[in-house]
Structure 1
Amino acid sequence: MGKFDLVEKYYRRWLSKLPSNDPSLCVLHQRLGVVADDKGEYDTSLKWYQKSLETKMRTHRSYHVNIGNTHNSIIAVHRNKEENKYFEALDFNEKSLDIHEKHLPADHPDMGGSYNNIGIVHHCLGHYGLALNHYNRSLKIRLKSLPGQHSDIAMAYRNMGPVYEYRDELEQALIYMKKAQTIYEVALPFNYPNVVNIKDDVKRVEDKLKMKKKN
């Protein structure tokens, strides 16, 4: 609901009451990482995720699905920071996918997350065909496993739009961007960054399409 400071205050209060060996610390660190990421405090987010990962590595087998989830979270923060460690990120993502494949059903939402993250890295590297392939696999899983208005489905649509835009397939780009916009406008406050950004994306592609038709 956007009440990040209130949530963070609650989690920190919870953190102060737990002993250092409490097994739920890894969950709490993960949630604090999510809050910091949502607030745009990416370095802080990475510190919380790293703490969560260290705790999970001590207490779970190396292929435990929760470790894969934390890898995904770390990758997402690096993406938000717009760092260029793409091959490192690709390695992280492929490890996370391997973990999920060993422990999850094929249509589990976390599988969709892994395919989405691999698609993002290929997108950044300019591998547009591979990016679309992974985005499509992610979208199919999310459509099967999540409610129709879930923000992760919107994310899949939003990620696919720019790939088609870069390939100059503007009509297709606009279709996916508008699908993302429809979900975001229902699921999120009007001034939420995802809502604002997708409106800008749609406007940009619409303008490009108009210019293309004129020429």
Structure 2
Amino acid sequence: MGGNNRLYEVNLTLTADNDPELSKLTDYIRQERFSDEEGWYRLGSVLIDMGQFEKAEDIYQVLLDQRKDEKDMALIYHRLGYIKDVQGKYEEALTFYEESLAIRQKTLPSNHPDLAKSYNNIGLVHDSMGNYPKALSSYEKALEIKQQSLPPTQPSLAMSYSNIGLVHKNMGNYPEALSSHEKALEIQQQSLPSSHPDLAKSYGNIGNVHYNMGNYPKALSSHDKALEIRQQSLPPNHPDLASSYNNIGAVYENMGNYSEARTFYERAVQIGEQSLPSNHPELQKCRNNLERVKNK
């Protein structure tokens, strides 16, 4: 790719073109990972998926230096923003996302889905920084664009409603949060298989809002549904299962049913210890919950 960037372009040839499993895998990767992109962009995406963020950043920085096309630059800025967001460098992430948005606002129709992606990711960064009003404004702009450009049952709309619901919950606007999460769930029920993990997330979000409102029977019902879906669709030691068990334990604890709470907290800790680092904050939260209920 030129210069001393220590990035090399290598042409690879399969040693066994007749391997059906390898062929199936490569076809899937081509379809799944941005099949309309050039190889270097695709490699950057794969590196992001692998958690190799610094290597992905190196590639995108080189591409940024070489590209003059605004469409390409908007995509590169967007990917760099994502990398910085995942790394917790929120101010840098915001700068890159806003660069990408500015280009897209100049070059795309006002209802283009890529604008919704920019607003959504800017909202995510503000959300992570605790800037909830700004996050809500960005999420609502993303939703407005999606409503103009996508079918009403598109799962991406559900994602926007979920994000809006989470911000309302963080702001203490529980009725608004509940309404948004219920809209997300309604769309998912129309567009996704009944055992899809995204439905479990929506049931969990609804359960959390009911919990914060003190509606413990409704919270328990929603968390039970989330757990049931996750048991069907996820490996038995998946962290999301630990989250469901922990949520159910918290409801039982607040209902005064400490023996049931302890059972669910123990299961949450057991799964967390199998799937998370020993110092992970979520695992520590589960352990603290278990210790607290043991003393009741």
Residue 93 of structure 2 is aligned to residue 8 of structure 1: yes
Q: 2:137 corresponds to which letter in structure 1?
A: K
- Among residues 101, 106, 115, which one is paired with 2:203 in the alignment? 115
Q: 2:87 corresponds to which letter in structure 1?
A: K
Give the alignment's TM-score, normalised by structure 1. 0.79
Select between 175-184 and 53-62 the one with higher mean Cα deviation.
175-184
Q: Find the structure with the greater CA-based Rg.
A: 2
Distance 2:270 2:170 in 1: 23
Instruction: Provide the residue aligned with 1:203 in structure 2.
Output: 291
Instruction: Provide the residue aligned with 1:212 in structure 2.
Output: none
Distance 1:137 1:189 in 2: 28
Give the alignment's TM-score, normalised by structure 2. 0.60
Distance 2:170 2:269 in 1: 20
Consecutive unaligned residues in structure 1, runs of 5 or more: 209-215
Distance 1:138 1:170 in 2: 21
Instruction: Provide the residue aligned with 2:256 in structure 1.
Output: 168
Distance 1:188 1:11 in 2: 31
The share of aligned pairs that are identical, in percent, is 32
Determine helix, strand or coil for the equivalent of 2:152: coil
Greater relative contact order structure (CA < 8 Å, 6+ sep): 1
Deviation at 1:124, TM superposition (A): 2.6
Which aligned segments of 4 or more residues in structure 1 are displaced greater than 6 angstroms? none
Partner deviation per Cα, 1:139-180 (whole Å, 9 max, x = no partner):
111222234444432322221111110122212212322333
Consecutive unaligned residues in structure 2, runs of 5 or more: 1-50, 52-85
Instruction: Provide the residue aligned with 2:142 in structure 1.
Output: 52
Change (3 A) 1:177 1:35: farther
Q: 2:276 corresponds to which letter in structure 1?
A: A
User: How many positions carry a matched residue from both structures?
Assistant: 205
Instruction: Provide the residue aligned with 1:131 in structure 2.
Output: 219
Instruction: Provide the residue aligned with 2:118 in structure 1.
Output: 28
Distance 2:139 2:88 in 1: 17
